[in-house]
Amino acid sequence: MFWFNTQYTHMVQSKSFLDEQDLSMLEERLESISWEDGEAENMEIRSSQIKWIHAGDPIFQKVGQFILEQNVKFQKTIYGIEPLQFTTYHAEENGRYGAHYDNKSFMGGYERKLSFSIQLSDDSEYDGGDMVIYNPDPIPMSRNKGSMMVFDSGLLHEVKPVTKGIRKSLVGWVFGPRT
């Protein structure tokens, strides 16, 4: 008999998910999108500015394909990806996102199954600001520009305060049936 290796994975990291060309084209498209108010209910734990990238942007093709490939390891029932959240954390504003779970709020009948973050700043552009996932031990995400971390939305994670410069990220959530 042949047995599939269905060992469950909690996180996956790609050190160079977006290349230089992807990054510069994405930056150009972001220029034409306007800023939105951050979510006020989270202000005690969160300080950041956001823009939304909606389905139709070419980044969804690349992200969607990677998510489907990686889901072989996560084994989640997934339907799609919410709009992507471009986020900036400024040192002057004590930019941070305190420890939280992404699967605690529901959108209609759906539940967040997987979360991901793509680094859009180079390690040299900011101090502090580490994205850390607790599994339960802390695992810091790569600080390589263009790297991508995919993780179970049920894992606690945080963005430590940025103490110098600006950290930029592209954050997304993959949803499936509410269980």
Q: Interface with Fe ion by CB under 5 A: which residues?
A: 102
Total residues at interface with ligand AKG (CB under 6 A): 10
In degrees, to the nearest 5, what angle opens at C-alpha 171 toward C-alphas 71 and 5? 15
- Return the amino acid letter for 68: L
Per-residue contact string for residues 146-165; x = within reach of ligand AKG by CB under 6 A: -----------x-x------
Calpha distance 146→117 (Å, rounded) = 10
Tell the smallest beta-carbon distance from residue 159 to ligand AKG (Å).
5
Q: Are 151 and 118 spatial neighbours (Cβ–Cβ below 8 Å)? A: no
Calpha distance 19→63 (Å, rounded) = 13
87: contact with ligand AKG by CB under 6 A? yes
Nearer to Fe ion, 102 or 152 (CB): 102
Binding site for ligand AKG (CB under 6 A): 85, 87, 97, 102, 117, 131, 157, 159, 169, 171
